[in-house]
Structure formats: C-alpha cells, structure tokens
Amino acid sequence: EAQVTQNPRYLITVTGKKLTVTCSQNMNHEYMSWYRQDPGLGLRQIYYSMNVEVTDKGDVPEGYKVSRKEKRNFPLILESPSPNQTSLYFCASSVLAGGTDTQYFGPGTRLTVL
Amino acid sequence: RKEVEQDPGPFNVPEGATVAFNCTYSNSASQSFFWYRQDCRKEPKLLMSVYSSGNEDGRFTAQLNRASQYISLLIRDSKLSDSATYLCVVNGENNRLAFGKGNQVVVIP
C-alpha cells in the first residue's frame, strides 16, 4: 500500500530532551516536507527536500533540523525542544521535485513539550 | 496580504443543501490550485485539483477565477460525511505550496 508513515504518533516530552520524528514514504517520491499545524495558524512548512542530500528551510525552520540521506526517509529532529514546539506535525511527499503537485500526508505526530 | 485567505466559518449546512465558499490568493503567477479535505485531527487529503476551465467530481465543483484571484468550492446535496475542514492550497510567491487556514463545514441533520 502506497503510504507515508510517521513515528511516533504521539509524544510527550520535556524541555531540552532531544527527539526525532521519523517519516518514510514508499512511493519513490522526490519531494518531502514537514509541516506543523497549530490552531488558528493553519499548516506551516518547516523544512522541505527536493532530493537526497538537498534540503531547505520552509517558513518556520527555527528549532528544527532535517536530513535526507535516503530517498524514502526524511526525519525531523528537535535538538532542544521547547514548549512552543508543542504542535501537530505532518510529513508529506509528492512525486515532483518542485513539490507543487499533489501532497500525500502522513497520519501526523502530536507532540507535547512540557 | 496573506498568500491564501479563507473564511474559517463554520459553515452550518442543512443536510441536502448546497454550500459554497471561496479562497483568495495573492500571487498572480500561481499555476497550481487544490482543495484538500481535513477531518478533525487527521491528515489532509486531496479532494480535487482546480483547473482553469473549472472541474467537477460528483457533488463537488471547483472553479478558478484568475482575474479576481480566487478559487471556489461548491458542494451539492450535502451529506453528513461532508463535515470537515476544506483547505485551499496554492503555489505561492516562492513557488512553494501555501495552505489556507480552511473552511470548516458542519452538515446538520
């Protein structure tokens, strides 16, 4: 089944404790990205990647890191999480490297930072 | 002006009625337009792409008005299962996709 998977789906952590949210797609998509969704603010892009070893900042990159060592995986790293990073996170992928075609979203990761 | 603007609603719609809403965008050079559906706390899923000539998919009709820079979505014969938030998505100033905050639709029995 073609899909985007994320893990964990739910996470409660404490300020400063490094964490990684994994994202994997099995559709051989070129483009992958991370979004966060907050009430009243909609979906905002954190980072995106047009290909292996090619990543770039989105609209709200502060406090996050990403890597794209393999085409299928695009982990999101929070080196020192803070409470303002409490949010619902979505990973997405799309066929075209430009990322302006249909986005396929993972199921989301609900993160709470205490 | 925000890249994509939507009236959040909620749009309370009697079952069987028609509901329509618009989304305005700021980038006159935009070429990609989509409507996504998002159920509460779940991932957005593509509802339909929006083409220049307008397009229809069952009870859903999407239109693009380039002159006034808006896209619209019309839902006919609303079902309870249509209750969701509908996100407008457009490629923005930097050619990355920009998401609206969504139109919340509540279909009332």
Write down the residue that tokens 């400063």 correspond to: A16
B63 to chain A, any CB pair closer than 8 A? The answer is no
**In whole angstroms, what separates CA B91 from the centre of its chain?**
14
Residue of B nearest to A91 (CA): B43
Q: How far is B90 from chain A (nearest CA, A)?
A: 8
Instruction: Count chain A–chain B contacts defined by CB atoms under 8 A.
Output: 47
Taking the Cβ of residue B43 and every Cβ of chain A, the question of whether any pair is shorter than 8 Å is answered with: yes
pLDDT of residue A97: 77
Predicted pLDDT at B8: 87
Is A69 in contact with A22 (CB distance < 8 Å)? no
Alpha carbon of B77: minimum distance to chain A alpha carbons (Å) = 26
Q: What is the pLDDT of residue B95?
A: 73
> What is the band of B92 on the pLDDT scale with cuts at 50, 70, 90?
confident
B92: contact with A, CB 8 A cutoff: no
Contacts of residue B31, defined as CB under 8 A and 6 or more positions apart, other chains included, come to: A100, B91
Find the CB nearest A107 among B43, B87, B99.
B43
Question: Would you call B1 an interface residue with chain A, using a CB distance cutoff of 8 Å?
Answer: no
Q: For residue range B16-70, what is the model confidence (pLDDT) as tens digits?
A: 999 999 999 999 999 999 999 999 989 999 999 999 999 999 999 999 999 999 9
Among all residues of chain B, which has the CA nearest to that of A10? Answer: B41
